[in-house]
Amino acid sequence: MSNPLVDIFSQVPSERVYIQNEIESLTYGDIKCSITQFSEDYAYLAGKNCALVAHSRFEIAKFLPLIASVANKVFLQPKCLKEEVQNEFYGKSNIEYVINVTRSSIYTTKVSDISHLQEVEQEWLLSTSGTTGTPKLVSYNITSLMKTSKKDVTKGSHFRWGLCYDLNRFAGLQVYLQAIASGSPLTITESSDELPDSVKLFVDNNVTCISATPSFWRKVLMTKGSERLELKRITLGGEISDQTVLSSLKKHYERSHIVHIYASTEAGVGFSVKDGLEGFPADFVGPSKLSSVELKIADSILWIKSDRAASAILNGSITIDDDGFVNTGDIVEIKHGRILFIGRDSGAINVGGNKVIPEEIEAVLNSHPRVIQSQVFGKKNAVLGMLVSAEVINEKAVELDDQKALKKELITFCKDKLDSFKIPAMIKFVEEIAVNESGKIERKR
């Protein structure tokens, strides 16, 4: 079975750098040799459905082509997946072997014995982050995943990519495929790295293309030494790109092409905006304005339809209307010929790329003995896009001094129970919280 990912390693000149970090550098040729060796050493994985668990992004990049060269399906499993979710995913996707990779070793574990049909094209499975509840398992066809990546190996020698996303998430995988499809080197930073160190690594390796969230870029702009980056391509995605961050990047990196991406996990597709302005042009809406997707707005919600990306969500549900449009859950408004993103229909808050569900935080606040009711919402923020804010009705009116103490107490109370980005940064004491006829809190738009 021919595999477009594996084919790259025989097409790209073997001396070209494939991946690098501060201690290691591997060429396309190195991986080509490893592929041959791997298929001999791990012949029993041929045609099997495999889950890959690795302790670093670098290891994933090192082993993914090897596993892809033999396996039927590849599940890029995130490190910290709850056991019950893991088992559910293994069952749903018929995983037979788990391949664990650490710096020093690789070991495989057989988890099931299922006879299955050989797919014609390799399938890759990714888990959504699940910060908004149960993670979803999404499957992608490798051929269609790679269809959108430019494959110009000659041109690819002029670009050097930097990776600041996890490789087992869609955003990271896209950067990876984009880089290697043209045989460009990819400099890999790890999530545990401090930003000044990552920036230095990118500068030292002459990285020219980076894709990251707006919050990441804001932090880059605040980092000394970032002015030494000589960027040709800047991509922003994962949260709303506001005009401030777009303009600021253009000012700092005058010679770069700046692109911001809108992507919908629900629809499994997205599109890019290249004019340097926030939101996207209103004329993207309507039939065939974009090559790959069709957009419409109904009740201030963006709906998207696409024939691309044979992706399927294997668990969880999505809303599709009769015309095949998927509800993205994104609230938009039209202003001066632009469609701007306002927030999520569910009230979900995006704090620097991390999704926060207000109900989860309200439940924690409400469990405090002095809280009668609470409402959590997002507040616009220049650093992280949004920040969690709360209004609280407490048992009796409190004096100003006591308010400060209670605020502190509530924050401490939340600390034990919630991730730091979910803890309300601001808490206001109010007498009333608006609810609708069914008694539910009216989510602010």
Partner 1 sequence: MIMKYLIISKINEVLEQTDRSEQYEDIEDSAILLQIGLDSLGFAILIALLEEELDSDPFQLMDEPVYPTTFGEFLSIYEKYSV
The pair of structure tokens assigned to 180 is: 């290697």
Q: Is the CB of 372 or the CB of 426 nearer to partner 1?
A: 426
Q: Is the CB of 314 or the CB of 411 nearer to partner 1?
A: 411
As measured in angstroms, the least distance from the Cβ of 368 to partner 1 is 17
As measured in angstroms, the least distance from the Cβ of 79 to partner 1 is 21
Q: Is the CB of 31 or the CB of 349 nearer to partner 1?
A: 349
Phi, psi of 83 (to 5 degrees): -60, -40
The residue with tokens 């509530």 is: 410
Kindly report the CA angle at 288 between 121 and 271, in degrees rounded to 5?
Answer: 60
Contacts of 58 (CB under 8 A, 6+ apart): 19, 21, 24, 188, 190
Taking a C-beta distance cutoff of 8 angstroms, is the pair 23, 49 a contact?
A: no
As measured in angstroms, the least distance from the Cβ of 350 to partner 1 is 12
The pair of structure tokens assigned to 33 is: 């040799």
Report the 10 Å Cβ neighbour count for 3: 17
Measured distance CA(2)–CA(11) in Å, rounded: 13
Is the torsion defined by CA of 395, 400, 403, 405 positive or negative? negative
As measured in angstroms, the least distance from the Cβ of 353 to partner 1 is 10
As measured in angstroms, the least distance from the Cβ of 343 to partner 1 is 16
Residues that bind partner 1 (CB under 8 A): 195-196, 215, 218-219, 221-224, 243-245, 247-248, 251, 351-352, 379-384, 387, 389, 411, 415, 420-421, 425-426
As measured in angstroms, the least distance from the Cβ of 381 to partner 1 is 5
Question: Strand ranges (DSSP E) for 280-424?
Answer: 280-281, 293-298, 301-306, 312-313, 326-335, 338-344, 349-351, 354-356, 371-381, 385-394
Q: Is the CB of 304 or the CB of 423 nearer to partner 1?
A: 423
Measured distance CA(412)–CA(210) in Å, rounded: 37
Q: Is the CB of 1 or the CB of 426 nearer to partner 1?
A: 426
Q: Is the CB of 206 or the CB of 244 nearer to partner 1?
A: 244
Q: Is the CB of 119 or the CB of 193 nearer to partner 1?
A: 193
Residues β-bridged to residue 338: 281, 335
As measured in angstroms, the least distance from the Cβ of 133 to partner 1 is 22
